[in-house]
Structure 1
Amino acid sequence: MRKTYFAALMITAGLLLSGCQSLYNEPDNSLYLQLGERAGIANIVENLLYLIVDDERINEQFKGMDVVQFHRNLTDQLCELSGGPCEYSGREMRELHAAMGITDTQFNALVENLILAMEKDHVPTAAQNRLIKQLLPLYPDIRHL
């Protein structure tokens, strides 16, 4: 009887622990949700595009681009980086920005505009900061230091 009780206890503990473990392995999509999921991210990117057009510090860098493709790729990229179900399939950042000669001022202007686009959509500041933190590792590939 004691062996049966012990075996049942061990099985129950194993199931509980594996259940808890699966909770920790779940992707954290809270940032994705705070950004408004894919539709919210697409709206943020659209707002960003309007800000880019009006920003003389950076609008020259974007002349002649395929706006639809840019919107789709950036939406996918932000969606993926925020923990969403999207997959970015655009070019690598280093390859994409190789000949652009982006300055710190231009990079900072784009980040500033992204923050303004998120504020327009009432994205909480903490979520804005989390997204910016996800984008920071891309800086060396964009800026080519």
Structure 2
Amino acid sequence: MKHPLRALLALTAAGLIGAAHAQTADDSLYRAWGQKAGIQAVMQDFVTRLVADARMAPFFKNTNRDNLVTQLTEQLCQQAGGPCVYKGVPMKEAHADMAIGRRDFNALVEVLQQSMDARGIPFDAQNAMLARLAPMHRDVITRD
């Protein structure tokens, strides 16, 4: 991995600044990610990597991949300041029965980082998105 601690540091820092970054009127992050088409390309790569990763595959074995790409695209588009509206299940509800631990969450972030690198997302834009997504860890991690 090119920057192994980058994602974890961004998540830790974002947890300290919390949801203040979750919604903004600024769409510069949305544009830096290539707008909706760019976000969708990263999410397609991400889902492909998730189902191929031995650590992550068990969590996604019964998942509709196309729907997952669509939901993730909408969610990241909204988080990035784009015009999308995420209409999926709230994170806490979606992950309640999945027994996701911190190690699992960190592995998912590693896979996301690989996808961002593979799709050429600039380093600053990667960290900005991770900072906006980081507060979700409270709703996704369901076990120690």
TM range (shorter): 0.7 to 0.9
State the TM-score, normalized to the length of structure 1. 0.80
Structure 1 residue aligned with 2:58, among 54, 57, 60?
Answer: 60
**What value does the CA root-mean-square deviation take over the aligned residues?**
1.2
Q: How does 1:1-145 map to 2 (within 5 A)?
A: 27-144=25-142
SS at match of 1:88: coil
Q: 1:48-72: CA deviations, max 9, x gaps?
A: 0111122101110001111111111
Q: How far apart, in 2, do the equivalents of 1:50 and 1:73 lie? A: 15
| Map of 1:21 onto structure 2 | none
Q: How far apart, in 2, do the equivalents of 1:127 and 1:31 lie? A: 6
The percent of aligned pairs where both chains have the same amino acid is: 38
Largest Rg, 1 or 2: 1
Q: How far apart, in 2, do the equivalents of 1:54 and 1:144 lie? A: 23
Q: How far apart, in 1, do the equivalents of 2:57 and 2:104 lie? A: 9
SS at match of 2:106: helix
State the TM-score, normalized to the length of structure 2. 0.80
Q: How far apart, in 2, do the equivalents of 1:67 and 1:47 lie? A: 11
How many residue pairs end up in the alignment? 120
Segments of structure 2 that go 5 or more residues without pairing to the other structure are: 1-23
Q: How far apart, in 2, do the equivalents of 1:57 and 1:144 lie? A: 17
Q: How far apart, in 2, do the equivalents of 1:84 and 1:144 lie? A: 29
Q: How far apart, in 2, do the equivalents of 1:81 and 1:63 lie? A: 26
1:97 Cα deviation from its structure 2 partner: 0.0
Judge conservation of contact 2:98–2:142 (CA < 8 Å) in 1: no
Segments of structure 1 that go 5 or more residues without pairing to the other structure are: 1-25
Q: 1:5-59: CA deviations, max 9, x gaps?
A: xxxxxxxxxxxxxxxxxxxxx8110000011100000000001011112210111
Structure with greater proportional helix content: 1
Judge conservation of contact 2:101–2:142 (CA < 8 Å) in 1: no
